[in-house]
Amino acid sequence: MKEKYKGIIYIILAAFCFAMMSTFVRLAGDLPSAQKSFFRNLVALVFAAIILKKEKIGFSHNKKNLGLLIVRSICGTIGILCNFYAIDHLLLPDATMLNKMSPFFAIIFSYLFLKERVNLVQIFSLIGAFIGCLFIIKPTGNMDIFPAMIGLLGGLGAGAAYTVVRKLGQRGEKGPFIVFFFSAFSCVAVLPLVILDYVPMTIPQFLYLLMAGLAAAGGQFSITAAYCYAPAKEISIYDYSQVIFSAITGFFLFGQIPDTYSVIGYVLICGMALYMFLYNTGKIGRKARQVK
């Protein structure tokens, strides 16, 4: 049970960091998604290397985990590129909500590939949180379908990546090395795109991307630790707190004030998170039928 609480704390911390990352990415302005992704992962790569060196973990990995590390890196790179594209082409809340489909996909992938059981209480809470997200995003018929589908693909990629992180944690792979491998893989993967379509940056743009990278590094380490400590089905609901953090930063930085529907969404999400917390701590009935 103590491991589960650590997972919850880490995933909420990750949600805050990723909310700040999205804010800085948007502030960086009109730059290619691959260029933003490269600088974001370059910072995470440096941090991961420092931690591996400082904690004497080393830069080697278990050979049996190489395939999973590559799959995690491919899925994560796709997720980042799609998310950054959505941030640049959709309203920030829309892009955030589409990316917040990742916990939903993580639960599905965990059920299908890790054989982790899911009970009706957890399914109900996740559906409730998703409905709250819909109140916030308020999708309409005139939504640009292509950026929206790219954003949804980003959520799917992130969900798949987090599921693989969970499996790597079960196999004993250290979190910092998972981050290091992913960051290095992603930088190499997008480097040709950056070279072919590089856009000169102003000093403010460079600083915004640096801050985005720092926030992303904090989020990456936190999300990796979270899914190493606990199954996706038990903690992924808390990842929706990123929506609340985004609303707070939006208000103070951009003067954005949530409307009534958004407030309803926040209440639903917080309510579902509280319900899951009470369920996990045994303060409400735990006789929900499990889906095997």
Q: Report pLDDT digits (tens) over 187-218.
A: 999 999 999 999 999 999 999 999 999 998 88
Would you state the pLDDT for residue 129?
A: 81
Rounded Cα distance between 69 and 179, Å, is 10
Would you state the pLDDT for residue 181?
A: 94
Would you state the pLDDT for residue 29?
A: 87
CA-wise closest residue to 225 among 270, 181, 185, 177: 177
Would you state the pLDDT for residue 146?
A: 76
Sign of CA dihedral 35, 242, 144, 124: positive
Number of domains the chain is built from: 1
Would you state the pLDDT for residue 275?
A: 82
Instruction: Give the global pTM.
Output: 0.80
118 DSSP β-pair partners: 291
Q: Which residues of 83-98 are buried (b: 16+ CB within 10 A; e: fewer)?
A: bbbbbbbbebbbbbbb
Residue type, 199: V
Rounded Cα distance between 124 and 113, Å, is 21
Would you state the pLDDT for residue 140?
A: 62
CA-wise closest residue to 179 among 131, 222, 243: 222
Domain that holds residue 264: 2-291
The answer to whether 176 and 57 have CB atoms below 8 angstroms apart is: yes
Mean pLDDT per segment of 10 residues, for the chain of length 292 residues?
85 92 90 92 90 83 89 95 88 78 80 83 83 73 67 89 89 88 95 94 94 89 85 78 82 76 80 78 60 54
Would you state the pLDDT for residue 150?
A: 87
Rounded Cα distance between 3 and 19, Å, is 24
